[in-house]
Structure 1
Amino acid sequence: MNLEKEEPHEIRILKLLPYIVKPPLVDPCLPQEFILGCQDDDPYFSAGYYWGAQRTLNDYFSDPTTLKGCLIRAQVSTTVSQLGLDRFSCDGNTQDLSAAGFTEIKVTRGKWGIFPYRELHAKGSKGRHYYQMWVGLNAEGGATLLFQFLYPEYLNEPTQNQKKIWEDFVRKTALLSLNDLLVAHGAHMKGYTESSSIREKVRIVVEKRRWDQKLLIYIDPLTTDHPFFQIQKIHDINFVSEFACGQPLIEIDAVFTESKGEPLSEKVRVLYNIVDQFTFNSKMLSPHRFEETPEYLLFQ
Protein backbone atom coordinates (compact mmCIF):
# COMPACT_ATOMS: atom_id res chain seq x y z
CA MET A 1 0.00 0.00 0.00
CA ASN A 2 1.36 3.40 -0.94
CA LEU A 3 1.57 6.39 1.33
CA GLU A 4 1.56 9.31 -1.06
CA LYS A 5 0.91 12.85 0.02
CA GLU A 6 -0.61 15.69 -1.94
CA GLU A 7 -1.07 19.18 -0.63
CA PRO A 8 -4.67 20.38 -0.21
CA HIS A 9 -3.94 23.53 -2.25
CA GLU A 10 -3.92 21.37 -5.39
CA ILE A 11 -7.68 20.98 -5.09
CA ARG A 12 -9.26 23.81 -7.07
CA ILE A 13 -12.23 24.50 -4.81
CA LEU A 14 -9.87 25.00 -1.87
CA LYS A 15 -7.92 27.57 -3.85
CA LEU A 16 -11.14 29.36 -4.81
CA LEU A 17 -12.61 29.40 -1.28
CA PRO A 18 -9.82 30.04 1.25
CA TYR A 19 -10.85 30.52 4.89
CA ILE A 20 -14.09 28.59 4.38
CA VAL A 21 -13.93 25.96 7.13
CA LYS A 22 -15.98 23.32 5.31
CA PRO A 23 -16.29 24.23 1.63
CA PRO A 24 -18.39 22.03 -0.67
CA LEU A 25 -15.93 19.38 -1.83
CA VAL A 26 -16.74 19.66 -5.52
CA ASP A 27 -14.91 20.12 -8.80
CA PRO A 28 -16.30 23.44 -10.07
CA CYS A 29 -17.04 23.43 -13.79
CA LEU A 30 -15.41 26.74 -14.68
CA PRO A 31 -13.11 27.89 -17.49
CA GLN A 32 -9.50 27.08 -16.73
CA GLU A 33 -8.56 30.76 -16.66
CA PHE A 34 -11.01 31.45 -13.81
CA ILE A 35 -9.00 32.17 -10.67
CA LEU A 36 -9.62 33.80 -7.32
CA GLY A 37 -9.25 37.57 -7.46
CA CYS A 38 -7.25 39.11 -4.61
CA GLN A 39 -7.40 42.69 -3.37
CA ASP A 40 -4.80 44.21 -1.04
CA ASP A 41 -7.46 46.03 0.96
CA ASP A 42 -9.51 42.86 1.51
CA PRO A 43 -7.03 40.07 2.33
CA TYR A 44 -9.67 37.86 4.00
CA PHE A 45 -12.34 38.29 1.29
CA SER A 46 -14.87 39.95 3.58
CA ALA A 47 -16.55 41.38 0.47
CA GLY A 48 -16.82 37.95 -1.11
CA TYR A 49 -14.78 35.72 -3.39
CA TYR A 50 -14.58 36.88 -6.99
CA TRP A 51 -13.71 34.31 -9.67
CA GLY A 52 -12.82 35.12 -13.24
CA ALA A 53 -10.05 35.69 -15.75
CA GLN A 54 -7.24 37.86 -14.38
CA ARG A 55 -7.85 40.76 -16.76
CA THR A 56 -11.58 40.73 -16.06
CA LEU A 57 -10.93 40.73 -12.34
CA ASN A 58 -8.54 43.66 -12.67
CA ASP A 59 -11.11 45.65 -14.63
CA TYR A 60 -13.85 44.96 -12.11
CA PHE A 61 -11.73 45.78 -9.07
CA SER A 62 -10.64 49.02 -10.73
CA ASP A 63 -14.19 50.05 -11.66
CA PRO A 64 -17.17 47.63 -11.67
CA THR A 65 -18.84 49.63 -14.44
CA THR A 66 -15.97 48.73 -16.82
CA LEU A 67 -16.66 44.99 -16.59
CA LYS A 68 -16.60 43.48 -20.08
CA GLY A 69 -16.39 39.79 -19.30
CA CYS A 70 -18.17 37.83 -16.58
CA LEU A 71 -17.39 36.88 -12.99
CA ILE A 72 -18.84 34.71 -10.27
CA ARG A 73 -19.04 36.10 -6.76
CA ALA A 74 -19.27 33.72 -3.80
CA GLN A 75 -19.95 34.45 -0.14
CA VAL A 76 -21.52 32.86 2.91
CA SER A 77 -25.22 33.70 2.74
CA THR A 78 -26.66 35.84 5.52
CA THR A 79 -30.30 35.38 4.54
CA VAL A 80 -30.78 31.77 3.41
CA SER A 81 -30.07 28.67 5.48
CA GLN A 82 -30.26 24.93 4.86
CA LEU A 83 -32.97 23.28 6.96
CA GLY A 84 -32.52 19.66 5.94
CA LEU A 85 -30.87 17.36 3.43
CA ASP A 86 -32.64 19.13 0.56
CA ARG A 87 -34.63 21.93 2.15
CA PHE A 88 -33.84 25.64 2.30
CA SER A 89 -35.38 28.53 4.23
CA CYS A 90 -36.16 30.26 0.92
CA ASP A 91 -38.16 27.37 -0.55
CA GLY A 92 -41.53 28.51 -1.87
CA ASN A 93 -40.88 32.12 -0.92
CA THR A 94 -40.77 34.37 -3.97
CA GLN A 95 -43.30 36.95 -2.81
CA ASP A 96 -40.60 39.44 -1.81
CA LEU A 97 -39.11 39.27 -5.30
CA SER A 98 -42.47 39.85 -6.91
CA ALA A 99 -43.12 42.77 -4.58
CA ALA A 100 -39.78 44.27 -5.61
CA GLY A 101 -40.82 44.19 -9.26
CA PHE A 102 -39.09 41.02 -10.41
CA THR A 103 -40.82 38.90 -13.02
CA GLU A 104 -40.14 35.63 -14.85
CA ILE A 105 -38.98 34.17 -11.54
CA LYS A 106 -37.67 30.65 -11.90
CA VAL A 107 -36.18 28.52 -9.12
CA THR A 108 -34.37 25.30 -10.02
CA ARG A 109 -33.45 22.54 -7.58
CA GLY A 110 -30.39 20.39 -8.01
CA LYS A 111 -27.40 18.79 -6.31
CA TRP A 112 -23.65 18.88 -6.57
CA GLY A 113 -23.16 15.33 -5.33
CA ILE A 114 -24.48 15.56 -1.76
CA PHE A 115 -24.60 19.36 -1.73
CA PRO A 116 -28.10 20.61 -2.63
CA TYR A 117 -28.63 23.90 -4.41
CA ARG A 118 -31.34 26.34 -5.42
CA GLU A 119 -30.73 28.38 -8.57
CA LEU A 120 -32.70 31.58 -9.06
CA HIS A 121 -33.20 33.37 -12.38
CA ALA A 122 -35.35 36.48 -12.43
CA LYS A 123 -35.95 39.56 -14.55
CA GLY A 124 -35.72 42.96 -12.85
CA SER A 125 -38.12 45.85 -13.26
CA LYS A 126 -35.78 47.49 -15.82
CA GLY A 127 -35.47 44.32 -17.89
CA ARG A 128 -32.10 43.12 -16.58
CA HIS A 129 -31.72 39.40 -15.87
CA TYR A 130 -30.28 38.21 -12.56
CA TYR A 131 -28.72 34.83 -11.81
CA GLN A 132 -27.75 33.46 -8.44
CA MET A 133 -27.79 30.26 -6.44
CA TRP A 134 -27.46 28.94 -2.91
CA VAL A 135 -25.55 25.76 -2.11
CA GLY A 136 -26.10 23.97 1.18
CA LEU A 137 -22.94 22.91 2.99
CA ASN A 138 -24.63 20.14 5.01
CA ALA A 139 -23.26 21.86 8.11
CA GLU A 140 -24.78 21.70 11.56
CA GLY A 141 -25.66 25.39 11.60
CA GLY A 142 -27.35 25.27 8.19
CA ALA A 143 -24.79 27.47 6.42
CA THR A 144 -25.13 28.04 2.68
CA LEU A 145 -22.96 29.68 0.06
CA LEU A 146 -24.45 32.33 -2.21
CA PHE A 147 -23.15 32.52 -5.78
CA GLN A 148 -23.97 35.51 -8.00
CA PHE A 149 -23.29 35.84 -11.72
CA LEU A 150 -21.85 39.22 -12.70
CA TYR A 151 -21.83 40.45 -16.30
CA PRO A 152 -21.49 43.86 -18.01
CA GLU A 153 -23.85 46.55 -16.77
CA TYR A 154 -24.60 47.70 -20.32
CA LEU A 155 -26.25 44.34 -21.09
CA ASN A 156 -29.71 43.31 -19.95
CA GLU A 157 -28.72 39.68 -20.18
CA PRO A 158 -25.40 37.90 -20.64
CA THR A 159 -24.11 36.83 -24.03
CA GLN A 160 -24.54 33.19 -25.02
CA ASN A 161 -20.91 32.44 -24.14
CA GLN A 162 -21.24 34.15 -20.78
CA LYS A 163 -24.53 32.40 -20.04
CA LYS A 164 -22.94 29.04 -20.85
CA ILE A 165 -20.25 29.65 -18.23
CA TRP A 166 -22.94 30.10 -15.59
CA GLU A 167 -25.05 27.18 -16.79
CA ASP A 168 -22.05 24.84 -16.87
CA PHE A 169 -21.07 25.95 -13.38
CA VAL A 170 -24.55 25.20 -12.07
CA ARG A 171 -25.30 22.00 -14.02
CA LYS A 172 -21.90 20.35 -14.47
CA THR A 173 -20.14 20.96 -11.17
CA ALA A 174 -19.76 17.55 -9.53
CA LEU A 175 -18.52 15.98 -6.33
CA LEU A 176 -14.77 15.49 -6.15
CA SER A 177 -13.44 12.08 -7.03
CA LEU A 178 -12.78 9.71 -4.12
CA ASN A 179 -9.06 10.33 -4.34
CA ASP A 180 -9.46 14.12 -4.45
CA LEU A 181 -11.90 14.00 -1.54
CA LEU A 182 -9.15 12.44 0.52
CA VAL A 183 -6.55 14.89 -0.73
CA ALA A 184 -8.90 17.74 0.16
CA HIS A 185 -9.19 16.34 3.65
CA GLY A 186 -5.42 16.20 4.05
CA ALA A 187 -4.47 12.74 2.86
CA HIS A 188 -4.17 10.35 -0.02
CA MET A 189 -6.00 7.07 -0.34
CA LYS A 190 -4.59 4.05 1.52
CA GLY A 191 -2.35 4.41 4.52
CA TYR A 192 -3.79 7.78 5.43
CA THR A 193 -3.47 9.60 8.72
CA GLU A 194 -4.60 13.12 9.57
CA SER A 195 -1.98 13.82 12.22
CA SER A 196 1.06 15.49 10.67
CA SER A 197 3.32 14.49 13.56
CA ILE A 198 2.45 10.82 13.10
CA ARG A 199 2.36 10.94 9.32
CA GLU A 200 6.06 11.86 9.24
CA LYS A 201 6.98 8.92 11.47
CA VAL A 202 4.78 5.96 10.55
CA ARG A 203 2.47 4.56 7.93
CA ILE A 204 -0.69 2.96 9.28
CA VAL A 205 -2.41 0.25 7.26
CA VAL A 206 -5.69 -1.26 8.43
CA GLU A 207 -7.80 -4.20 7.28
CA LYS A 208 -11.11 -5.46 8.66
CA ARG A 209 -11.83 -9.17 8.47
CA ARG A 210 -15.28 -9.75 7.10
CA TRP A 211 -16.44 -12.75 9.10
CA ASP A 212 -15.69 -11.45 12.61
CA GLN A 213 -15.16 -7.71 12.00
CA LYS A 214 -11.75 -7.86 13.64
CA LEU A 215 -9.14 -5.27 12.64
CA LEU A 216 -5.54 -5.80 11.64
CA ILE A 217 -3.59 -2.60 12.36
CA TYR A 218 -0.12 -2.52 10.87
CA ILE A 219 2.26 0.21 12.04
CA ASP A 220 5.12 0.63 9.58
CA PRO A 221 7.90 2.96 10.85
CA LEU A 222 9.19 5.50 8.36
CA THR A 223 12.19 6.44 10.52
CA THR A 224 14.84 4.50 12.45
CA ASP A 225 13.37 5.70 15.74
CA HIS A 226 10.59 3.05 15.80
CA PRO A 227 7.99 5.01 17.80
CA PHE A 228 5.59 3.09 20.04
CA PHE A 229 1.86 3.23 19.34
CA GLN A 230 -0.55 2.48 22.20
CA ILE A 231 -4.23 2.25 21.26
CA GLN A 232 -6.77 3.72 23.68
CA LYS A 233 -9.99 3.53 21.68
CA ILE A 234 -11.22 2.73 18.17
CA HIS A 235 -14.49 3.65 16.50
CA ASP A 236 -15.88 3.62 12.98
CA ILE A 237 -16.72 6.87 11.21
CA ASN A 238 -19.63 7.18 8.83
CA PHE A 239 -17.56 8.34 5.89
CA VAL A 240 -20.61 8.40 3.62
CA SER A 241 -22.30 11.13 5.62
CA GLU A 242 -19.14 13.11 6.36
CA PHE A 243 -17.38 13.03 3.00
CA ALA A 244 -19.84 11.21 0.73
CA CYS A 245 -17.51 8.73 -0.84
CA GLY A 246 -18.36 5.54 1.02
CA GLN A 247 -14.81 4.43 1.88
CA PRO A 248 -14.73 2.77 5.33
CA LEU A 249 -12.78 4.71 7.90
CA ILE A 250 -11.83 4.31 11.55
CA GLU A 251 -10.69 6.83 14.11
CA ILE A 252 -8.03 5.70 16.58
CA ASP A 253 -7.34 7.44 19.88
CA ALA A 254 -3.76 6.54 20.68
CA VAL A 255 -0.69 7.50 22.68
CA PHE A 256 2.32 7.95 20.44
CA THR A 257 5.77 7.71 22.07
CA GLU A 258 9.18 8.17 20.51
CA SER A 259 12.33 6.85 22.18
CA LYS A 260 13.53 10.34 23.11
CA GLY A 261 10.23 12.14 23.41
CA GLU A 262 7.25 12.64 25.66
CA PRO A 263 4.07 10.61 25.03
CA LEU A 264 1.61 12.42 22.77
CA SER A 265 -2.12 11.77 22.66
CA GLU A 266 -3.21 11.67 19.02
CA LYS A 267 -6.44 11.13 17.12
CA VAL A 268 -5.75 9.31 13.85
CA ARG A 269 -8.15 8.60 10.99
CA VAL A 270 -7.28 5.69 8.74
CA LEU A 271 -8.99 4.19 5.70
CA TYR A 272 -9.26 0.43 5.66
CA ASN A 273 -10.11 -2.43 3.32
CA ILE A 274 -12.56 -5.22 4.13
CA VAL A 275 -10.95 -8.61 3.49
CA ASP A 276 -11.78 -12.29 3.87
CA GLN A 277 -8.36 -13.01 5.39
CA PHE A 278 -5.72 -10.67 6.75
CA THR A 279 -2.74 -9.83 4.57
CA PHE A 280 0.61 -10.77 6.12
CA ASN A 281 4.07 -9.99 4.82
CA SER A 282 7.65 -10.96 5.59
CA LYS A 283 8.07 -8.09 8.05
CA MET A 284 5.43 -9.67 10.27
CA LEU A 285 7.36 -12.82 11.26
CA SER A 286 8.16 -11.63 14.79
CA PRO A 287 5.41 -12.87 17.17
CA HIS A 288 6.55 -10.56 19.98
CA ARG A 289 5.60 -7.52 17.88
CA PHE A 290 1.91 -8.49 17.86
CA GLU A 291 -0.67 -7.35 20.37
CA GLU A 292 -4.12 -8.95 20.24
CA THR A 293 -7.44 -7.97 21.77
CA PRO A 294 -10.97 -9.11 20.91
CA GLU A 295 -11.31 -5.99 18.74
CA TYR A 296 -7.99 -5.81 16.91
CA LEU A 297 -4.64 -7.39 16.08
CA LEU A 298 -1.87 -4.79 16.25
CA PHE A 299 1.57 -5.22 14.70
CA GLN A 300 4.32 -2.67 15.27
Structure 2
Amino acid sequence: MEVYVVAGGGGSGRTATALNLTVALRGASRYAAVLDADLSGNVASLLDVTFDTTMGDAVAGDASVRAATVECGLSADDLPADDLADYREALAVDRTGFRTGAVEESDPVTAEDEPDTDTVPVVGGWHDRADHLSADAEALSYALGDLSMAYEVLVVDVGNGPAAESPLLGEATGVLAVTTPDRAACEAAKEDATACARERDGVQVVGVVINRAGEDTSISDLTDRVGAKALGVVPEDARTAALEPVAFTLPGSPAAAAYERLADAVLDWDGTSGLLGPTPANRRDGPAGSDVATDGDGSEPDEEGSGGFLSRFLGR
Protein backbone atom coordinates (compact mmCIF):
# COMPACT_ATOMS: atom_id res chain seq x y z
CA MET A 1 0.00 0.00 0.00
CA GLU A 2 1.31 3.43 -0.92
CA VAL A 3 1.06 6.00 1.88
CA TYR A 4 1.13 9.71 1.08
CA VAL A 5 1.43 12.18 3.95
CA VAL A 6 0.10 15.71 3.42
CA ALA A 7 2.42 18.33 4.95
CA GLY A 8 2.34 22.11 5.27
CA GLY A 9 1.20 24.87 7.55
CA GLY A 10 -2.22 25.42 9.08
CA GLY A 11 -4.79 27.01 6.78
CA SER A 12 -3.03 25.94 3.60
CA GLY A 13 -5.73 23.47 2.58
CA ARG A 14 -4.13 20.22 3.73
CA THR A 15 -7.43 18.63 4.70
CA ALA A 16 -9.22 19.59 1.48
CA THR A 17 -6.22 18.32 -0.49
CA ALA A 18 -6.13 14.99 1.36
CA LEU A 19 -9.87 14.41 0.97
CA ASN A 20 -10.17 15.50 -2.66
CA LEU A 21 -7.03 13.61 -3.68
CA THR A 22 -8.48 10.44 -2.16
CA VAL A 23 -11.76 10.93 -4.02
CA ALA A 24 -9.91 11.64 -7.27
CA LEU A 25 -7.76 8.53 -6.83
CA ARG A 26 -10.91 6.46 -6.41
CA GLY A 27 -12.25 8.08 -9.56
CA ALA A 28 -9.06 6.87 -11.24
CA SER A 29 -9.99 3.32 -10.25
CA ARG A 30 -7.66 3.06 -7.25
CA TYR A 31 -8.79 1.62 -3.95
CA ALA A 32 -7.90 4.65 -1.86
CA ALA A 33 -8.72 5.74 1.69
CA VAL A 34 -7.97 8.81 3.77
CA LEU A 35 -6.63 8.67 7.32
CA ASP A 36 -7.79 11.52 9.52
CA ALA A 37 -5.00 11.38 12.07
CA ASP A 38 -6.36 14.24 14.18
CA LEU A 39 -10.03 13.87 15.04
CA SER A 40 -10.28 17.31 16.62
CA GLY A 41 -11.46 18.47 13.21
CA ASN A 42 -10.44 18.18 9.58
CA VAL A 43 -11.79 15.33 7.40
CA ALA A 44 -14.22 14.04 10.02
CA SER A 45 -15.72 17.51 10.37
CA LEU A 46 -16.03 18.08 6.63
CA LEU A 47 -17.90 14.79 6.18
CA ASP A 48 -19.76 15.04 9.50
CA VAL A 49 -18.66 11.59 10.62
CA THR A 50 -17.88 10.31 14.11
CA PHE A 51 -15.81 7.32 15.18
CA ASP A 52 -16.53 4.86 17.97
CA THR A 53 -13.26 3.08 17.20
CA THR A 54 -10.02 4.72 16.06
CA MET A 55 -6.58 3.89 14.74
CA GLY A 56 -5.40 4.62 18.25
CA ASP A 57 -7.51 1.73 19.52
CA ALA A 58 -6.14 -0.52 16.78
CA VAL A 59 -2.53 0.40 17.58
CA ALA A 60 -3.21 -0.26 21.26
CA GLY A 61 -4.54 -3.72 20.36
CA ASP A 62 -8.07 -2.96 21.55
CA ALA A 63 -9.78 -3.17 18.15
CA SER A 64 -9.21 -3.95 14.49
CA VAL A 65 -8.24 -1.22 12.09
CA ARG A 66 -11.23 -2.16 9.95
CA ALA A 67 -13.46 -1.18 12.86
CA ALA A 68 -11.83 2.26 12.74
CA THR A 69 -12.76 2.69 9.06
CA VAL A 70 -16.06 4.29 8.07
CA GLU A 71 -17.36 4.18 4.51
CA CYS A 72 -18.71 7.71 4.14
CA GLY A 73 -21.42 8.02 1.53
CA LEU A 74 -21.08 10.91 -0.89
CA SER A 75 -24.09 12.53 -2.50
CA ALA A 76 -24.69 15.45 -4.81
CA ASP A 77 -28.42 15.41 -4.02
CA ASP A 78 -28.45 17.50 -0.86
CA LEU A 79 -25.90 20.22 -1.58
CA PRO A 80 -26.99 23.66 -0.31
CA ALA A 81 -28.78 25.43 -3.16
CA ASP A 82 -27.47 28.85 -2.13
CA ASP A 83 -23.87 27.62 -2.00
CA LEU A 84 -24.20 26.03 -5.43
CA ALA A 85 -25.77 29.18 -6.86
CA ASP A 86 -22.98 31.35 -5.45
CA TYR A 87 -20.35 29.00 -6.81
CA ARG A 88 -21.82 28.95 -10.31
CA GLU A 89 -22.36 32.68 -10.33
CA ALA A 90 -18.74 33.25 -9.34
CA LEU A 91 -17.55 31.01 -12.17
CA ALA A 92 -19.88 32.64 -14.67
CA VAL A 93 -18.52 36.13 -14.01
CA ASP A 94 -14.90 35.06 -13.71
CA ARG A 95 -12.92 36.26 -16.72
CA THR A 96 -9.61 34.55 -15.98
CA GLY A 97 -8.19 32.24 -18.61
CA PHE A 98 -8.61 28.99 -16.69
CA ARG A 99 -12.04 29.54 -15.11
CA THR A 100 -14.14 30.96 -17.92
CA GLY A 101 -17.81 30.09 -18.22
CA ALA A 102 -20.53 28.74 -15.98
CA VAL A 103 -20.59 25.23 -14.59
CA GLU A 104 -23.24 23.26 -16.39
CA GLU A 105 -26.01 21.60 -14.46
CA SER A 106 -25.45 17.85 -14.21
CA ASP A 107 -27.23 14.88 -12.73
CA PRO A 108 -26.01 13.73 -9.32
CA VAL A 109 -23.26 11.16 -9.45
CA THR A 110 -24.50 7.72 -8.50
CA ALA A 111 -22.91 4.37 -7.82
CA GLU A 112 -24.44 3.11 -11.07
CA ASP A 113 -22.69 5.86 -13.08
CA GLU A 114 -19.35 5.63 -11.27
CA PRO A 115 -18.89 2.28 -9.49
CA ASP A 116 -17.22 2.51 -6.10
CA THR A 117 -16.85 6.29 -6.23
CA ASP A 118 -19.93 7.32 -4.26
CA THR A 119 -18.22 6.49 -0.98
CA VAL A 120 -14.89 7.45 0.53
CA PRO A 121 -13.34 5.30 3.27
CA VAL A 122 -12.18 7.41 6.21
CA VAL A 123 -9.94 5.89 8.88
CA GLY A 124 -10.35 7.54 12.25
CA GLY A 125 -7.02 8.43 13.81
CA TRP A 126 -6.52 9.63 17.37
CA HIS A 127 -8.72 11.85 19.52
CA ASP A 128 -5.63 13.31 21.17
CA ARG A 129 -2.57 14.54 19.25
CA ALA A 130 -0.29 13.51 22.09
CA ASP A 131 -1.48 9.90 21.67
CA HIS A 132 -0.98 10.22 17.92
CA LEU A 133 2.60 11.40 18.32
CA SER A 134 3.44 8.71 20.88
CA ALA A 135 1.98 5.81 18.87
CA ASP A 136 4.15 2.70 18.92
CA ALA A 137 5.88 2.45 15.53
CA GLU A 138 5.76 -1.34 15.30
CA ALA A 139 2.10 -1.59 16.27
CA LEU A 140 1.28 1.21 13.82
CA SER A 141 3.06 -0.67 11.05
CA TYR A 142 1.00 -3.79 11.79
CA ALA A 143 -2.24 -1.78 11.71
CA LEU A 144 -1.34 -0.24 8.36
CA GLY A 145 -0.46 -3.70 7.11
CA ASP A 146 -4.04 -4.73 7.84
CA LEU A 147 -5.29 -1.71 5.89
CA SER A 148 -3.14 -2.71 2.93
CA MET A 149 -5.32 -5.80 2.53
CA ALA A 150 -8.16 -3.52 1.45
CA TYR A 151 -6.54 -0.41 -0.05
CA GLU A 152 -3.90 0.42 -2.62
CA VAL A 153 -3.37 4.00 -1.50
CA LEU A 154 -3.72 5.74 1.86
CA VAL A 155 -3.68 9.55 2.01
CA VAL A 156 -2.85 10.92 5.47
CA ASP A 157 -4.05 14.22 6.90
CA VAL A 158 -1.79 14.45 9.95
CA GLY A 159 -3.93 17.10 11.63
CA ASN A 160 -3.08 20.23 13.52
CA GLY A 161 0.68 20.15 13.59
CA PRO A 162 3.79 19.45 11.52
CA ALA A 163 3.78 16.27 9.46
CA ALA A 164 7.42 15.79 10.41
CA GLU A 165 6.35 14.99 13.99
CA SER A 166 3.94 12.21 13.01
CA PRO A 167 4.99 8.57 13.43
CA LEU A 168 3.01 7.90 10.25
CA LEU A 169 5.88 9.50 8.38
CA GLY A 170 7.90 6.36 9.03
CA GLU A 171 5.44 4.43 6.85
CA ALA A 172 5.19 7.04 4.11
CA THR A 173 5.82 6.40 0.43
CA GLY A 174 6.02 10.14 -0.16
CA VAL A 175 5.15 13.57 1.19
CA LEU A 176 3.02 16.22 -0.48
CA ALA A 177 3.84 19.78 0.58
CA VAL A 178 0.72 21.96 0.47
CA THR A 179 0.71 25.75 0.37
CA THR A 180 -1.20 28.81 -0.75
CA PRO A 181 0.48 31.70 -2.57
CA ASP A 182 0.92 33.46 0.78
CA ARG A 183 4.62 33.84 1.65
CA ALA A 184 4.16 32.60 5.23
CA ALA A 185 2.34 29.50 3.95
CA CYS A 186 5.21 28.80 1.55
CA GLU A 187 7.71 29.06 4.37
CA ALA A 188 5.65 26.71 6.55
CA ALA A 189 5.37 24.18 3.71
CA LYS A 190 9.11 24.36 3.07
CA GLU A 191 9.93 23.89 6.74
CA ASP A 192 7.60 20.92 7.17
CA ALA A 193 8.57 19.22 3.89
CA THR A 194 12.30 19.53 4.44
CA ALA A 195 11.90 18.39 8.05
CA CYS A 196 10.04 15.29 6.79
CA ALA A 197 12.90 14.44 4.44
CA ARG A 198 15.44 15.10 7.17
CA GLU A 199 13.71 13.25 10.00
CA ARG A 200 12.86 10.05 8.13
CA ASP A 201 15.59 8.45 6.03
CA GLY A 202 14.32 7.43 2.62
CA VAL A 203 11.11 9.48 2.71
CA GLN A 204 10.82 11.53 -0.46
CA VAL A 205 8.96 14.79 -0.98
CA VAL A 206 6.87 14.21 -4.11
CA GLY A 207 6.30 17.90 -4.80
CA VAL A 208 4.26 20.94 -3.84
CA VAL A 209 0.51 21.39 -4.23
CA ILE A 210 -0.48 25.04 -4.62
CA ASN A 211 -3.98 25.91 -3.40
CA ARG A 212 -6.02 29.06 -4.13
CA ALA A 213 -3.91 30.02 -7.13
CA GLY A 214 -4.95 33.02 -9.18
CA GLU A 215 -4.26 33.84 -12.80
CA ASP A 216 -1.37 36.08 -11.79
CA THR A 217 0.18 33.54 -9.43
CA SER A 218 3.78 32.81 -10.39
CA ILE A 219 4.24 29.07 -10.02
CA SER A 220 8.00 29.34 -10.40
CA ASP A 221 8.19 31.89 -7.58
CA LEU A 222 6.24 29.57 -5.28
CA THR A 223 8.25 26.47 -6.15
CA ASP A 224 11.40 28.46 -5.45
CA ARG A 225 10.05 29.56 -2.07
CA VAL A 226 8.97 26.06 -1.05
CA GLY A 227 11.99 24.43 -2.65
CA ALA A 228 10.01 21.69 -4.36
CA LYS A 229 8.73 20.93 -7.84
CA ALA A 230 5.12 21.77 -8.66
CA LEU A 231 2.92 18.68 -8.42
CA GLY A 232 -0.50 20.29 -8.70
CA VAL A 233 -2.22 23.68 -8.85
CA VAL A 234 -5.76 24.16 -7.53
CA PRO A 235 -7.39 27.45 -8.56
CA GLU A 236 -8.98 29.82 -6.10
CA ASP A 237 -12.75 29.56 -6.25
CA ALA A 238 -15.95 30.21 -4.33
CA ARG A 239 -16.54 26.73 -2.94
CA THR A 240 -17.54 26.26 0.67
CA ALA A 241 -17.01 23.40 3.11
CA ALA A 242 -20.57 22.27 2.39
CA LEU A 243 -19.59 21.54 -1.23
CA GLU A 244 -16.63 19.34 -0.30
CA PRO A 245 -15.34 17.09 -1.69
CA VAL A 246 -15.65 19.00 -4.96
CA ALA A 247 -13.84 16.18 -6.76
CA PHE A 248 -17.16 14.35 -6.34
CA THR A 249 -19.88 16.96 -5.85
CA LEU A 250 -18.87 19.34 -8.65
CA PRO A 251 -17.50 17.14 -11.45
CA GLY A 252 -16.13 19.18 -14.32
CA SER A 253 -15.47 22.23 -12.18
CA PRO A 254 -11.98 23.78 -12.36
CA ALA A 255 -11.10 22.61 -8.84
CA ALA A 256 -12.35 19.08 -9.49
CA ALA A 257 -10.30 18.91 -12.69
CA ALA A 258 -7.25 20.13 -10.77
CA TYR A 259 -7.62 17.33 -8.23
CA GLU A 260 -7.94 14.80 -11.04
CA ARG A 261 -4.67 16.05 -12.49
CA LEU A 262 -3.10 15.89 -9.03
CA ALA A 263 -4.17 12.26 -8.70
CA ASP A 264 -2.64 11.50 -12.10
CA ALA A 265 0.61 13.19 -11.05
CA VAL A 266 0.77 11.15 -7.84
CA LEU A 267 0.12 7.92 -9.74
CA ASP A 268 2.79 8.85 -12.31
CA TRP A 269 5.40 9.76 -9.69
CA ASP A 270 8.65 7.85 -10.31
CA GLY A 271 9.84 7.84 -6.69
CA THR A 272 12.50 10.52 -7.04
CA SER A 273 12.70 13.52 -4.74
CA GLY A 274 10.79 16.62 -5.73
CA LEU A 275 12.95 18.86 -3.56
CA LEU A 276 14.94 21.47 -5.42
CA GLY A 277 18.54 22.49 -4.78
CA PRO A 278 19.65 25.95 -3.67
CA THR A 279 19.78 27.02 -7.32
CA PRO A 280 16.71 25.38 -8.89
CA ALA A 281 17.43 23.94 -12.30
CA ASN A 282 13.81 24.47 -13.25
CA ARG A 283 14.16 28.26 -13.27
CA ARG A 284 15.30 30.35 -16.24
CA ASP A 285 16.24 34.00 -16.17
CA GLY A 286 13.25 36.27 -16.37
CA PRO A 287 10.94 38.45 -14.30
CA ALA A 288 8.84 36.84 -11.59
CA GLY A 289 5.57 35.60 -12.96
CA SER A 290 6.66 35.83 -16.57
CA ASP A 291 6.06 33.06 -19.07
CA VAL A 292 9.78 32.27 -19.33
CA ALA A 293 9.53 30.38 -16.06
CA THR A 294 9.12 26.63 -16.28
CA ASP A 295 6.42 24.57 -14.62
CA GLY A 296 8.50 23.07 -11.85
CA ASP A 297 9.71 19.95 -13.63
CA GLY A 298 12.33 21.59 -15.84
CA SER A 299 10.24 21.72 -19.01
CA GLU A 300 9.86 24.90 -21.03
CA PRO A 301 6.44 26.47 -21.53
CA ASP A 302 4.72 26.10 -24.87
CA GLU A 303 4.89 28.97 -27.31
CA GLU A 304 1.28 28.51 -28.30
CA GLY A 305 -1.85 28.96 -26.23
CA SER A 306 -3.37 31.78 -24.24
CA GLY A 307 -4.44 32.58 -20.73
CA GLY A 308 -1.01 32.95 -19.16
CA PHE A 309 1.41 30.57 -17.52
CA LEU A 310 -1.00 29.17 -14.94
CA SER A 311 -3.56 28.42 -17.64
CA ARG A 312 -1.01 26.27 -19.46
CA PHE A 313 -0.12 24.45 -16.24
CA LEU A 314 -3.80 23.69 -15.72
CA GLY A 315 -4.14 22.32 -19.22
CA ARG A 316 -6.27 25.13 -20.57
- Who wins on radius of gyration, i.e. which is larger? 1
Q: Which has the higher helix share?
A: 2
| TM-score of the superposed pair, with normalisation by structure 2 | 0.21
| TM-score of the superposed pair, with normalisation by structure 1 | 0.22
